[in-house]
Structure 1
Amino acid sequence: MASNVDRMAHLPSGVGVCTTIPDILYLPELIIGGLVWILVACTYVEIANPLGWVMCVSVFCFAMTFIWLMVFACGSHYNSGGWATADFIYHFIATVFYLSASVELAFVTLALRYGTTDKGVKDYKLCISAVVFSFTATFLYFVHTILSAIRWKSF
């Protein structure tokens, strides 16, 4: 009988990406990261480009996570330790980027809390939603980083 370490050391391909841990987290990362991207794009902020970093991180992580998912789904990784290392490094970088973007987004949202017009209240509510989803995406990437590190160490 195979142990958990043996199962964690195997890099999945095909439909196995949607059934193994930590790779099952790709889909929520894509959905929630896309929501952050959409919500930030829907807001209008008068401060000179404060959310540029947030948009850069959310678009970059969305695109890279999709590409990473396709690499694993197509079986292009050849089940080697180098791909496990790259998976860990990518998710660590994404976690750090999303954490910095989430903090900046929360700071900008605090500055918007005193919107007096209906548009200001609407933007504030959109920003609050974006902050919640941004910190949720940060948490998902953090969990994926930890699980990827465990898989990397088991190779």
Structure 2
Amino acid sequence: MASTTSGDVLPTGCRIFTSVPDIFFLPEFVIGGLVWILVASTRVVPDNPLGWVMFVSVFCFVFTTLWFFIFICGANQSSVWPSLDVGYHFVAVVFYLSASVDLAYITFLWGQVSFLSAADLKTFRLDIAAVVMSFVATLLYFLHAIFSAIRWKRS
């Protein structure tokens, strides 16, 4: 009789494109990259909250890329990787949620200005797009974290 458990702890190679939590890697790349690009294309005023948004988007983009290559290369086969996968994605959710709220607040404040010049209106619209993409990225990381936690619990 065949065994019901596989020898692999996590999928490797091209199998990550067919497993449920890992299929979120590509949308996380695209949406996280859009947040990065949209915030970088505007004036960073005020510095502190938007600097945090830039840090979070770059940090998550770089570490998701690293995580993706670790999974592709098959270096994720020890028993500690499922818990690291869950931990990283929950940290990314907390980071992105805080950055999304900061960005939404700053964008709200931009919208309260009674007169916006053409350049300010462009910045405002880019910030609105960045807010939407940031919350979508938060949702993607949250779904990845939940499905990774389910996989971790089963392993």
Could you state the TM-score of these two structures normalised by the residue count of structure 1? 0.91
In structure 1, the gaps of 5 or more residues are: none
CA 1:2/1:146 → structure 2, altered by over 3 Å: closer, same or farther? farther
RMSD over aligned Cα atoms:
1.7
Counterpart residue identity of residue 90, structure 1: Y
Q: Which residue of 2 aligns with 1:150?
A: 150
CA 1:2/1:111 → structure 2, altered by over 3 Å: closer, same or farther? farther
Alpha-carbon distance between aligned partners in 1 of 2:116 and 2:126, rounded to the nearest angstrom = 15
Alpha-carbon distance between aligned partners in 2 of 1:121 and 1:19, rounded to the nearest angstrom = 42
Q: Which residue of 2 aligns with 1:116?
A: 116
Q: Which residue of 1 aligns with 2:24?
A: 25
Q: Which residue of 2 aligns with 1:140?
A: 140
What does the per-residue CA deviation read over 1:31-67, in whole Å, with 9 as the maximum and x for residues that have no partner? 0000000000001144344300000000000000000
CA 1:23/1:29 → structure 2, altered by over 3 Å: closer, same or farther? same
Runs of at least 4 residues of structure 1 off by over 2 A?
Answer: 45-50
In structure 2, the gaps of 5 or more residues are: none
Counterpart residue identity of residue 64, structure 1: F
Identity among equivalent pairs (%):
52
The structural deviation recorded for 1:19 is: 1.3
Alpha-carbon distance between aligned partners in 2 of 1:98 and 1:31, rounded to the nearest angstrom = 15
Given that 2:31 and 2:137 are in contact with CA atoms closer than 8 Å, whether structure 1 keeps it comes out as yes
Residue 11 in 1 paired to residue 10 in 2? yes
- Counterpart pick for 2:102 among 91, 101, 104: 104
Alpha-carbon distance between aligned partners in 2 of 1:61 and 1:116, rounded to the nearest angstrom = 32
CA 1:48/1:31 → structure 2, altered by over 3 Å: closer, same or farther? closer
Given that 1:35 and 1:130 are in contact with CA atoms closer than 8 Å, whether structure 2 keeps it comes out as yes
Given that 1:17 and 1:72 are in contact with CA atoms closer than 8 Å, whether structure 2 keeps it comes out as yes
